[in-house]
Structure 1
Amino acid sequence: MFTGLSAFPLSPLRDGHLDEIAFAQLTERLAAAGVGSICALGSTGNYAYLDNAERKRIAELAVRHAGNVPVMIGISALRTRDVLDYAEHAQKVGAKAVLLAPMSYQPLSAQEVFKLYETVTGALSVPLVVYDNPGTTRFEFSDELHGRIAALPNIASIKIPPVPADLDAATARVDRLRARIPSNVTIGISGDAVAATGLLAGCDSWYSVIAGLFPQTALAITQAAHSGNAAQVQQWSERLEPLWALYRRYGSLRVAATTAELLGHTASPCLPPPLLALQDADRKQLASFLEGFHDQA
């Protein structure tokens, strides 16, 4: 489950409460599409805005509605005590892996981050994916730190930030990291707008926001990239440029949430306040794009 496509669904709200029906339906759509894995409670899953009971309920629903598709659960929290609690619950309900970012209020040191992963992996019986997301956590992993963490037990993959748009530069970046980590640890790309480049540059997997809504499209891109069909990958990327432009302005979460609202997959609004979906002209621009777009391979 640490190669290929991993789809990250929203955790939608309705009237301020978790919309269990909408979440279950989103998860079932992904399972029916045949994605490689489903990750609940990543950044797209609003984990930082949900309380303990909501997060545990989402973990339960994800495993229940994913069918035979393996589920990964985000366990990030401010305190290691809470991370361990979420990890234990994820394993108890049947998650096949967990995802962990070094979430913090006070800036963390490299030693603090290493100690976090050392403590958590020591308590796990399932694999862990390292979530390197400096845009959100404000923590910058060095390749040396990735190497130290990747040598810990139960580390299965590293979810890296966007790579350079230039393919040669992207390949060099992936190669530098791969030289630091054990051969059994995969490298997964995040940042949908450059994911195709990351896959062509040698990333093993795509940890994908857009796959949470358009799994067939994301599967087509992943398969084309892994088969080396750069022309087809470029064609798909150009087709999706209106989405990528909005990602660059507002971030993937707001765009994904607005897309789900416009397609009728969730109520509107579905984000936890103070977060807002796209408004006015930007919402109309997205709606116009969606009118001519269909999720298909």
Structure 2
Amino acid sequence: MLTAEATGVCVICPTPFLPDGSLDERSAATMTEAYVAAGATGLTILGIMGEAPKLDAEEAMNLVRIVLKHAGGLPVIVGVSAPGYAPMRALASRAMEAGAAGVMIAPPTGLRGDDAALSWLQGAAEAVAPAPWVLQDFPQANGVTLPPRVIAALAADPRCVMLKAEDWPGLDKITALKAMMKSGEMKRVAIYGGNGGLFLPEETMRGADGVMTGYAFPEMLVRLRALLAEGRRDEAMDLFEAHLPLIRTEHQPGLGLAVRKYVLSRRGIIAHPTVRAPGPKLSDATRAEVDFLLARLARRDPVALKLAAE
């Protein structure tokens, strides 16, 4: 089960599709195995970048079962966010029965005010009981801002074990939350950064316990955290800066998932870059720009050398 002591790199998995839009089960397996080999300490599926709303209930559970089968024992978190509690309850129950380590919840759009957000999320936590759960704080996606005192109130639930901290700017928020935990104003939960890894070095140095993102080179995330843990900050920043142009390109609202899937398909991690309709497709010009970034990356980080030879 997922606990508040979790650390490391939890990779957000995309959902692989065949060119006709059906679930690519083979790629789901190879993708999972590739992330395990890259050094991930956990996996998250059916998140915002997992195209969860485009899957029906049976497709979602099929993906859950495939990932669990190939995860090598790593904890798997299943995103169960939905506008209402009934589908959350159903997916959480089935996922936990299948062997998931916990679930992730984000508030829906349309909530107004701290009291409304707190009440809705407390109801969601009850709906997914008895599963351990991750609170996703991502106001850029849903328009719901959760101040530290609301997060602390939600963390009082013993089953709330992790915060995916994606407010932006959010570094001072991480610092505030860590201070509240230290002073006893808030129960300890693991804090994982997100936002595509854009602020991974700073989040780590502010005390984040890990990162939960789907950047197409998770090996870099693992290495960067290790370098920072060893006090090799300049080396960590050199590595990060080599990847930053691609991280930035992957992080474009609306288009980023298509970029990520294109890179993953070029790496052989998934077979096809398909984004299920309705969704964006990369233009020839955009693919050329990404290829240029990959070629430059290969000159600075050996992890991308295979792409340079293609």
**TM-score exceeds 0.5:** yes
Question: Which residue is equivalent to 1:46?
Answer: 51
Q: Flag the 1:195–1:180 CA change in 2: closer, same or farther, 3 A.
A: same
Residues 215-230 of structure 1 mapped to structure 2, 5 A cutoff: 215-230=218-233
Q: Flag the 1:78–1:279 CA change in 2: closer, same or farther, 3 A.
A: same
Question: Which residue is equivalent to 2:190?
Answer: 186
Determine if contact 2:34/2:269 at 8 Å carries over to the other structure: no
For the aligned residue pairs, the C-alpha RMSD in angstroms reads: 2.2
How many residues were matched structurally? 288
Q: Structure 1 CA distance, aligned partners of 2:270 and 2:250? A: 20
Q: Is 1:266 matched with 2:274?
A: no
Letter in 1 for 2:101: K
Question: Which residue is equivalent to 1:173?
Answer: 173
Residues 50-61 of structure 1 mapped to structure 2, 5 A cutoff: 50-61=55-66
Q: Which string of whole-angstrom CA distances, capped at 9 and with x for unpartnered residues, describes residues 151-184 of structure 1?
A: 11201111111555xxxx93x4322122345342
Question: Which residue is equivalent to 1:85?
Answer: 90
The equivalent position to 2:139 in structure 1, one of 131, 134, 140, is 134
Question: Which residue is equivalent to 1:118?
Answer: 122
> What is the deviation of 1:113?
3.0
Q: Flag the 1:61–1:204 CA change in 2: closer, same or farther, 3 A.
A: same
Q: Tell me the SS of whatever aligns to 1:131.
A: strand
Question: Which residue is equivalent to 2:108?
Answer: 103
The equivalent position to 2:240 in structure 1, one of 220, 234, 237, is 237
> What is the deviation of 1:239?
0.3
> What is the deviation of 1:45?
1.2
Question: Which residue is equivalent to 2:307?
Answer: none
Q: Structure 1 CA distance, aligned partners of 2:190 and 2:157? A: 14
Q: Tell me the SS of whatever aligns to 1:18.
A: coil
More displaced stretch, 265-274 vs 191-200: 265-274
| Matched-pair identity in % | 23
Q: Name the TM-score, length of structure 1 as normaliser.
A: 0.88
Q: Structure 1 CA distance, aligned partners of 2:142 and 2:135? A: 13
Determine if contact 2:30/2:270 at 8 Å carries over to the other structure: no
Q: Tell me the SS of whatever aligns to 1:13.
A: coil
Q: Which string of whole-angstrom CA distances, capped at 9 and with x for unpartnered residues, describes residues 59-116 of structure 1?
A: 1111111012111111111111111111111111000111111134x44543343233
Question: Which residue is equivalent to 1:276?
Answer: 280
Unaligned runs of 5+ in 1: none
Q: Structure 2 CA distance, aligned partners of 1:162 and 1:193? A: 12
Unaligned runs of 5+ in 2: 305-310
Determine if contact 1:26/1:265 at 8 Å carries over to the other structure: yes
> What is the deviation of 1:248?
4.6
Determine if contact 1:269/1:277 at 8 Å carries over to the other structure: no
Q: Which string of whole-angstrom CA distances, capped at 9 and with x for unpartnered residues, describes residues 250-295 of structure 1?
A: 4542321121233343344411122114322221111222245343
Determine if contact 2:178/2:207 at 8 Å carries over to the other structure: no
Q: Flag the 1:214–1:86 CA change in 2: closer, same or farther, 3 A.
A: same
Q: Structure 2 CA distance, aligned partners of 1:127 and 1:295? A: 35
Question: Which residue is equivalent to 1:8?
Answer: 12
Q: Which string of whole-angstrom CA distances, capped at 9 and with x for unpartnered residues, describes residues 20-57 of structure 1?
A: 11111100111223311111111221112222121111
Q: Structure 1 CA distance, aligned partners of 2:198 and 2:281? A: 19
Determine if contact 1:41/1:74 at 8 Å carries over to the other structure: yes
